Amino acid sequence: MQNQEQEKYLSEKALAKKWGVAPRTLQKWRWRGIGPPYIKIGIAVRYPPESIKKFEEENMHSTTSKNRSSQNQISSTTKKVNYESQ
């Protein structure tokens, strides 16, 4: 019964694979507090399926022209540079 319960939770590696991101991305999101809620027992990080589903629903977009604030939170650490003509 315990193994079935554990299988419900996704590991960092499994979630990264599901979403097509690097595990390091999930680590950065946890550090910044912007990713899905997780459970940490010892060094093991697990994501409950309810948290994953809620996070996916909250970040669902139908257009790129509106609702950019949540997208900006998750975007990579790329800096915007303004170039001025001389």
pLDDT in tens, 36-60: 999 999 999 999 999 999 999 999 9
pLDDT in tens, 6-31: 558 999 999 999 999 999 999 999 99
Top-ranked range on mean pLDDT: pick from 4-8, 9-13, 59-63, 81-85: 9-13
pLDDT of residue 78: 41
List of domains in the chain: 2-60 (1.10.1660)
Ordered DSSP codes for 3-72 = HHHHHTSEEHHHHHHHHT--HHHHHHHHHHT-S---EEETTEEEE-HHHHHHHHHHT--S-SSS-HHHHH
Residue 68 in tokens: 């950019």
